Amino acid sequence: MGQIPLYPLRFAPIYQYRLWGGRRLGVILSEPPPGSDPIGEAWILSDREDHSSLVANGYLKGRTISEVMKLFPEQMMGKLTSRFDRFPLLLKFLDAREMLSVQVHPSDAQPDLIPSGETSKTEAWVVIEADEGSKIYAGLTRGTTAGDLKQSLASSTVEDHLAGIVPKPGDAVFIPAGTVHTLGGGVVVFEVQQNSDVTFRLYDWGHVDAKTGQPRPLQVDDAIRCIDFSESTGGLVRPDVESTTPVMREKLFDCRAFRVERFHGQAPFPVGAGGEPRVLVCIDGSGNVEYNQIPHAIARGDVWLLPAEVGACVFLPSGEMTLLEIAIPE
């Protein structure tokens, strides 16, 4: 089966209940969430044992990305094959109607806090929608110490030590591992992160889970051990304009774990690259990814994975659109 040629792969979202979530992701994504519970996250590309994304098109429809990675390792990953046995990024949309917990993820400097099979966790957000009064916190105020944080936990004044951002659509926020962060108050973001689910909660705003009637557990000691108290490289990022024709092309993030570019306009433009996988996420508008003269429709909220074997394609907008392209650095 490994000799069968691959093609652009679309994946179905995996909706996740979160007590701080809302119902806005059903409007942004083409598939509505189930039930009426608050939905905080839609995992749109996930190669994890507990939640593995399903291919939604072509002859591989119904297969998980985990199965596809095992069946077609070189065709999927190309020059990156020897480095990864699972897809190394986890992509999500977040609907934070209320504040998330104040949290931090471990870096490679804390290997004893990273369970076997997991990695450190650097992530980044692109703001899609932001209500008046919404908030993003990324990093600590200058000079904050571990002692300051512990004292603020006792007095419920943690917010005084968090570096705040008033978000607006289009903002790009970088959260390297070791950075204290949270967001909420009616903000929707796209998130790209390393494929890790290791999170330590520092503070949870007094939330009580309606399903259990209990507050969620905190991991204060481990969280503080993870925090990088030096000058943070996280926070609001100024996009780097790389070109303006045929469409606006901006570099948003470029780190060891991922590289993200944003395209905006309505003229056709190239996407993908030979010998390595790329991921396309439509943030606004719609269009088609054309491969081997076959168009693959992409709408707002859709994610398409271009396997390494697919290489370069052409994106044909249906009008004004915004598209993210995500690469994995060598």
Give the model confidence (pLDDT) of 125-179 as tens digits: 999 999 999 999 999 999 999 999 999 999 999 999 999 999 999 999 999 999 9
Q: For 58-82, what is the mean pLDDT?
A: 97
Q: Bridge partners of 316?
A: 288
For residue 167, the number of C-alpha atoms closer than 13 Å in the C-beta half-sphere is: 27
Please say if the pLDDT value at position 2 is more than 70.
no
Please say if the pLDDT value at position 65 is more than 80.
yes
Tell me yes or no: is domain 240-327 CATH 2.60.120.10.
Answer: yes
**171: three-class secondary structure by DSSP:** coil
Q: Domain spans of the chain? A: 9-237, 240-327
Residue 35 CB partners (closer than 8 Å, separation 6+): none
Q: Quote the CA–CA distance of 87 and 173 in Å, as a whole number.
A: 23
- Number of CB atoms found within 10 A of residue 213's CB: 7
For residue 187, the number of C-alpha atoms closer than 13 Å in the C-beta half-sphere is: 27
Per-residue pLDDT tens over the stretch 275-330: 999 999 999 999 999 999 999 999 999 999 999 999 999 999 999 999 999 999 98
% the chain with pLDDT above 90: 91
Which CATH superfamily groups domain 9-237? Answer: Jelly Rolls (2.60.120.10)
pTM for this structure?
Answer: 0.95
Q: Which residue has the tokens 């603020």?
A: 152
Angle (CA) 98-104-108 rounded to 5° is 150
pLDDT of residue 230: 86
User: Nearest 10 degrees: CA dihedral of 321, 94, 137, 120?
Assistant: -100
Angle (CA) 308-281-83 rounded to 5° is 35
Q: Do domains 9-237 and 240-327 have the same CATH topology?
A: yes
